């Protein structure tokens, strides 16, 4: 089945550090990928839609200069949390759907747990 790989699975770093998270579709091409954030005991909140070869679309209230998204190929999207602070600590999850198959489900990575000290 479709597999989405996310790396790293866990990051612990100091305040002010920038952190890059990778999301790869391993056996399919994805024109569109999605980035979510999940705080403890809460549901997933969509942050942005990552579009291959063009700018990402951010949800209301999400700072695009804070959360940089690059979708340079059909199998890779990256999320960079710039100058991270403790309030950015969260579980970040990506998803992807095979291009050209709009009714097929999105598949999710296993998430990245980010802890900012």
Partner 1 sequence: DAKTTQPPSMDCAEGRAANLPCNHSTISGNEYVYWYRQIHSQGPQYIIHGLKNNETNEMASLIITEDRKSSTLILPHATLRDTAVYYCIVRVPIPSGDDYKLSFGAGTTVTVRA
Residues with Cβ within 8 Å of residue 27, at least 6 apart in sequence:
2, 3
Rounded to whole angstroms, the Cα distance separating 27 from 2 reads 6
How would DSSP label each residue in 7-20? E-SEEEE-TT--EE
Q: How far apart are CA 59 and CA 63, in angstroms?
A: 9
C-alpha to C-alpha distance for 83 and 8, rounded to whole angstroms: 18
Q: Which of 13, 20, 46, 66 binds partner 1 (CB under 8 A)?
A: 46
49 is a site residue for partner 1 (CB under 8 A): yes
C-beta of residue 26 within 8 angstroms of C-beta of residue 110: no
8 or 105, CB closer to partner 1? 105
**With binding defined as CB under 8 A, does residue 32 bind partner 1?**
yes
Q: How many residues belong to the site for partner 1 (CB under 8 A)?
A: 24
We find the least distance from the C-beta atom of residue 87 to partner 1, in angstroms, to be 20
Give the footprint of partner 1 on residues 74-113 (CB under 8 A). 91, 93, 95, 102-103, 105-111, 113
Q: Provide the binding-site residues for partner 1, judged by CB under 8 A.
A: 4, 6, 32, 34, 36, 43-46, 49, 57, 91, 93, 95, 102-103, 105-111, 113
């Amino acid at each position: 089945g479709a597999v989405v790989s996310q790396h790293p699975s866990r990051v612990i770093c100091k305040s002010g550090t920038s952190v890059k998270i990778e999301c790869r579709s391993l056996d399919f091409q994805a024109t569109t990928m999605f980035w979510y954030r999940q705080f403890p005991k809460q549901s997933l909140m969509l942050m942005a839609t990552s579009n291959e070869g063009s700018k990402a679309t951010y949800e209301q209230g999400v700072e695009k200069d804070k959360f940089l998204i690059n979708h340079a190929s059909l199998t890779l999207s990256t999320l960079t949390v710039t100058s991270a602070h403790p309030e950015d600590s969260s579980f970040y999850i990506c998803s992807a759907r095979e291009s050209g198959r709009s009714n097929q489900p999105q598949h999710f990575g296993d998430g990245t747990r980010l802890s900012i000290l």
